[in-house]
Amino acid sequence: MSVLSLIFFASLPFAAFGAQRRATPESFQLYAYGDGLGGLPMFHADGYAYVGNPSSSNSSNAAEVMFSPGSDNTWFGSPNTTNLGNGTTPNWSNVTLFVPGPGSVDSRVGFLNGTNSSTSNVITSGFVFYGSTAMLLGDDGLETMWTGLAVGNTGVFAIYWNDTSSGQVPISMRRVAPSNPSRRWS
């Protein structure tokens, strides 16, 4: 066997591995993991992003978010109506996930819809997955600056971006559901 043949056959596994591109799934949910957070689902309430049990929210429109990817790595959210805990159907759909832009005075993560007129200083595109972890592809590379702040003793956390000033804890947002979701609210 020649050296060229040996190199060719030895490189086949790498060529096959390199050809497997990880695409963003057609639809997905995001779950928060971190200190004391074992896979709480992201939900929408009053235009902002939270994790936890939506029925623990004061909003009658709270529901877990089912995402679908758009162009420019924009993520659009609609209510996951199969997991409604408060019995009402939310009146929001096709909202756009955003994180605050540089210099924004509000560090909350939220959602824009067609009625929002304040779209300045927010980032709505560049969301990607590194494996199963949700990140933002920014000018400086991949960023994951998700943080969560407990909302009282409800088990709900408000989601922030790059802010720990009020005691927020770093979290990881992943598209992998917890391995034991039935124990999620206990």
pLDDT digits (tens, 9 = 90+) for 44-88: 999 999 999 998 988 888 999 999 999 899 999 999 977 665 566
- Predicted local confidence at residue 87, as pLDDT: 62
According to DSSP, the residues that pair with 161 across neighbouring strands are 146
Amino acid at 105: V
How confident is the model at residue 182, as a pLDDT?
53
Topology of 26-179 in CATH?
Trefoil (Acidic Fibroblast Growth Factor, subunit A) (2.80.10)
Neighbouring CB atoms inside 10 A of 97's CB total 24
**What is the structure's pLDDT at 84?**
60
Rounded CA separation 168/160 (Å):
8
Residues 6+ apart with CB under 8 A from 124: 74, 96, 97, 98, 112
* Mean pLDDT for back-to-back runs of 10 residues, the chain (186 residues): 43 40 76 93 96 90 94 94 68 95 92 69 95 94 96 95 96 93 50
- Six-digit token string for 113: 């819809």
Query: Which are the contacts of 61, defined by CB distance < 8 A and separation ≥ 6?
Result: 44, 45, 46, 88, 90, 91, 92
The pLDDT of residue 172: 98
Amino acid at 164: T
**Facing residues of 134 across strands?**
129
Q: Is 87 left (phi over 0), alpha (psi -120 to 50) or beta?
A: left
Which element (helix H / strand E) includes 136? strand 133-138
Q: What pLDDT score does 168 carry?
A: 97
107: left (phi over 0), alpha (psi -120 to 50) or beta: alpha
Q: Which helix (H) or strand (E) holds 17?
A: helix 3-19
170 pairs with which residues across the strands? Answer: 147
Q: In the chain, where are the structural domains located?
A: 26-179
- Start-to-end CA distance of the chain, whole Å, equals 63
